Amino acid sequence: MNIPLFFAPVFQERIWGGNRLREQFGYDIPSEQTGECWAISAHPNGQTTVINEPFRGKTLGELWDDHPELFGHFPSDRFPLLTKILDANADLSVQVHPDDEYARTYEHGELGKTECWYIIDCKEGAELIYGHHAKTKEELRQMMEEGRWHDLLRKVRIRPGDFFYVPSGTVHALCEGTLVLETQQSSDTTYRMYDYDRVDEHGNKRELHLDKALDVITVPHVDMYYEPQVIQTTEAKITTFVQNEYFTVQKWDIEQEWVVEQTDCFLLVSVLDGKGELCTAQETYPLQKGDHFLIPHSFDRFTIQGNLQCIVSSPTWGK
């Protein structure tokens, strides 16, 4: 079936959220503390819905169960990826995610959470937390118990266009003034280590998960860096940021017309800027900033034309 699937995002309010999802993308957000746009998701905590025919009104999870041919009969018991846009209007909690084995055992069969970030925008001088300075588990525990967060946490200066790979076990946090597209395993499991002693509207602090965090944190921290691979033509620049056992993530900077030969099981595409068209042999679909869509497995060839910047991901075969 050579029909792309366009989705209506699901929005999640967060204590650290803001309004940039409306200001930057024109989304109809629920409040001035909207932190997350779940753009392409089949996770039970926020399923996106198809907005075009012939599957209008169907959730991605329903399509995964009822039409496995759309996804190349991908060998997984659930849709494997989740695409988000995050508006960090304030600092996020310092956190870590488990791997698949730990999550299966302690989180009722949930997937682990390896993720990556593309920095869409950030304020001047913005930073994020990526890693820690402890050399042993004993030192890590002691620094956490003593509240020596300034000494423990590793901060990194960021700029728009930066990319970070965040495997499970990595201590991390987005900081104030950052807008990010996140590609991740389809998981909603997070272990909070530190939340700046913030309280919600009822005066309650959010739950911390220190014991589980200590179980899963990688010690010592190891930077995970992939050298971007770039293909430059007169029509487009294709940058592959990461290609591993979970996903491949690329940025497509299209200036005229890019003809895609589909070799993946399926593609998840988010338009970050610009406008244009997606053309198949049968139909043409308008594209604009803020659109999110899935290219099913049956597409063997399609064209994107216009002036657009897209983040494109696909799950890895055999995972």
Residue type, 227: E
CB 282 within 8 A of CB 217: no
Query: Which residues share a beta bridge with 60?
Result: none
Q: Mind telling me the catalytic residues?
A: 192
Token pair of 242 as six digits: 């990461």
Rama region for 21: left / alpha / beta (φ>0; ψ in -120 to 50; rest): alpha
CA gap 89, 20 in Å, rounded: 8
CB 235 within 8 A of CB 255: yes
Token pair of 89 as six digits: 């209007």
3-state DSSP of 162-186: CEEEECCCCCEEECCCEEEEEEEEC
Token pair of 128 as six digits: 């994020």
